Amino acid sequence: MTRPDRDVMLCRDCCCGDPGKHPTTDHRAQQDALLACAGTTRAGERVRVRVVDCLGQCDRSNVVLVRDFTRGRRPVDTWLGDVHDEDLTWRVAGWAERGGELPEDLAAHRFAPFVPGRG
Ligand code: FES
């Protein structure tokens, strides 16, 4: 696949996806739900979904990073944390598929990533 319009990264590593840390989350169903939004949308945009190793934001696990390439010269990254329940997962998947501004009902899950050395 050439560069997608949106690249969705679902973290799965030491914290994200760990049933020991998040025992009430169905991590497999979450992964399946997000993977299901991969492909070409009705609007003809391409969405790629990848399961990735630790994104370095474990305090916010489960973490989903959505990188949007359609909104200017540089990609726009949206970090979503504490993604645990099924309804929230489906809302994230729906937005990743539709694109556009982050819906208000997801805003509480948006966070600025911790960057070592930047305090
Ligand atoms: S395991 Fe997901 S941010 Fe570290």
Residue 80: give its domain's CATH number.
3.40.30.10
What is the residue-level pLDDT of the chain in tens, covering all 119 positions?
Answer: 688 999 999 999 999 999 999 999 999 999 999 999 999 998 999 999 999 999 999 999 999 999 999 988 899 999 999 999 999 999 999 999 999 999 999 999 999 998 877 75
- What per-residue confidence (pLDDT) applies to 119? 58
Q: Give residue 11's domain range.
A: 6-109
Pocket (CB within 6 angstroms of ligand 1): 11, 13-16, 54-58, 61, 63
d(CA 62, CA 106): 14
d(CA 88, CA 100): 17
Q: Which mutation among 50, 51, 57 tests ligand 1's pocket best, with the greatest number of atoms within 8 A of CB?
A: 57
Within-domain flag for 35: yes
Q: Which atom of ligand 1 is nearest to the CA of 57?
A: 3
d(CA 23, CA 37): 25
Kindly give the distance from the C-alpha atom of residue 43 to the centroid of ligand 1, in angstroms, as a whole number: 32
| Nearest CA among 95, 88, 106, 107 for reference residue 41 | 95
Amino acid at 49: V
Within-domain flag for 25: yes
Within-domain flag for 119: no
Kindly give the distance from the C-alpha atom of residue 61 to the centroid of ligand 1, in angstroms, as a whole number: 6
Sign of CA dihedral 52, 58, 63, 68: negative
- What per-residue confidence (pLDDT) applies to 85? 94
- What per-residue confidence (pLDDT) applies to 1? 60
- What per-residue confidence (pLDDT) applies to 72? 85
